[in-house]
Amino acid sequence: MKRKVIAYNLELTEALEKLDDQFKVQIFDSINPKTDPAFLEALKDAEGIVGLALPVDQELLDRAPKLKIVSNNSTGYNNLSIEVMSKRGVMGTNTPGVLEDTTADAIFGILLASARRIAELDHFVKSGNWQGHLTTAEYAIDVHHKTLGIIGMGKIGSAIAKRAHLGFDMDILYHNRTRNLEAEEKYHATYCNLDTLLKESDFVCLMTPLTPETENLIGEREFKLMKKSCIFVNGSRGKTVDETALIEALEQKEIHGAALDVYQIEPVKKGHPLLQFPNVVTTPHIGSSTYETELKMAELAVENLRAGLTGKLPKNLINPEVLN
C-alpha cells in the first residue's frame, strides 16, 4: 500500500507526478483545514504535507500522528509552528532561491504603477474621460533619479535595488538587521537607521519577513516621518504594517500614495477602506505569481518532501534540530 501525502492549495498538480510511484496523493484546495471532514480524515494517515499557507500548529499535529514532514511551497514559513514541529520530530522545509527576480519585478512594477498612476489613468481612458490634452490633474511623478529606501535588504530587496539603481539611476538607502556589503558595492546602497530612511526617501519599500519584531513595524509614527511626497510600497507581509495607521496617513495626506501587494487579511474584502483610494495600487499578492516561477517552487517543494520521506536530507530544511 502506498504511503499517504496531502497536497494543499498546490494548483500545479503536474509537479506532484514525481510522487505517484511511491505515494498516494490527496489533493485539497480552497477548504477550511479546521473543519473539512475529508481533510481531517486524511491527516490521520498522512506522512507528508506539501502546499501553501497551511497553518501547522499543535492542533493539526495532534490530528496527524504519522506526519514526518511539511513542505512549504513558499520562501516564508510563518504559517509553521517550527518549535512545536521540532518537538514532535516533524521536518519543515521551504523554497528559497526561486522567486527573487520574479517578486522584484512585481514589487518594482507596482512602485512604477503608483508613481506614474498607471492603473488610475488606465481607468481614466477606459471610462471615456480622456477628452483632450492632459491637465495637471492627471500628471504623475518621476521615478528616475529619486531616492528609494528599502527596509529589508535580503535577496529580494537586493534585486529591487538592482532594478532601481541600474535601471532608473535611483539612490538607494537601506535598513537591515545586518549590513549588505554586496548591495553597497554593486548598487551604491547606503546603510542607515530606520528613521533616517523614512525621512529621506521618496519611495519607501518594505521587504522584511514577518517576525514578532517586524509585526506592525510601520505605524503612525513611521508614516509621520515620511515625506508628504512619499509613496509607500509593501511587498513583505500584511501584518508588518498597521493598516489603520496607513489609512489615516492617506486620509490626512501625510504620504502621497501607496502600492500594496499584501494585506493583514487576505483576500481583501470588497468594502475595505484601502480599496477606496485612487492613489493606492492594490494587487492580489502576485509577488511570485508567474507560471514559470510557481512551477519551479512547486517542483522544489515536492523534491523536499520526497527527500524527507525517503530517508534523505531535504535541501531546504528549516529546522535541522529535528534530526537530533
324 residues of the chain, pLDDT tens digit each: 899 999 999 988 889 998 989 999 999 999 999 999 999 999 999 999 999 999 999 999 999 999 999 999 998 898 999 999 999 999 999 999 999 999 999 999 999 999 999 999 999 999 999 999 999 999 999 999 999 999 999 999 999 999 999 999 999 999 999 999 999 999 999 999 999 999 999 999 999 999 999 999 999 999 999 999 999 999 999 999 999 999 999 999 999 999 999 999 999 999 999 999 999 999 999 999 999 999 999 999 999 999 999 999 999 999 999 998
Fold match flag (3-98+292-323 vs 100-282): yes
Domain range summary for the chain, segments of one domain joined by +: 3-98+292-323, 100-282
Q: Model-level pTM? A: 0.89
What pLDDT is stored for residue 1 in this prediction? 82
SS3 298: helix
Q: Residue 198: CA atoms inside 13 Å, Cβ hemisphere, count?
A: 16
Phi, psi (degrees; rounded to nearest 5) at 144 = -60, 145
d(CA 142, CA 241): 25
Query: Of residues 285, 299, 303, 306, which has the active-site annotation?
Result: 285
SS3 210: coil
**Is 285 one of the catalytic residues?**
yes
Report cis status (omega within 30 of 0) of the bond before 55.
no
Please tell us whether the domain made up of 3-98+292-323 is placed in CATH 3.30.950.10. no
Class of domain 100-282: alpha beta
Q: How far is CA 79 from CA 52, 91, 94, in A?
A: 9, 14, 11
C-alpha cell at 291: 507560471
**Is 120 one of the catalytic residues?**
no
C-alpha cell at 277: 483610494
d(CA 2, CA 25): 9
Element (H, E) at 206: strand 203-206
Query: Of residues 163, 175, 237, 256, which has the active-site annotation?
Result: 237
Q: Which of 254, 210, 209 is nearest to 232 (CA)?
A: 254
Query: Of residues 83, 251, 266, 321, which has the active-site annotation?
Result: 266
**Is 177 one of the catalytic residues?**
no
User: Cell match 494587487: residue?
Assistant: 283
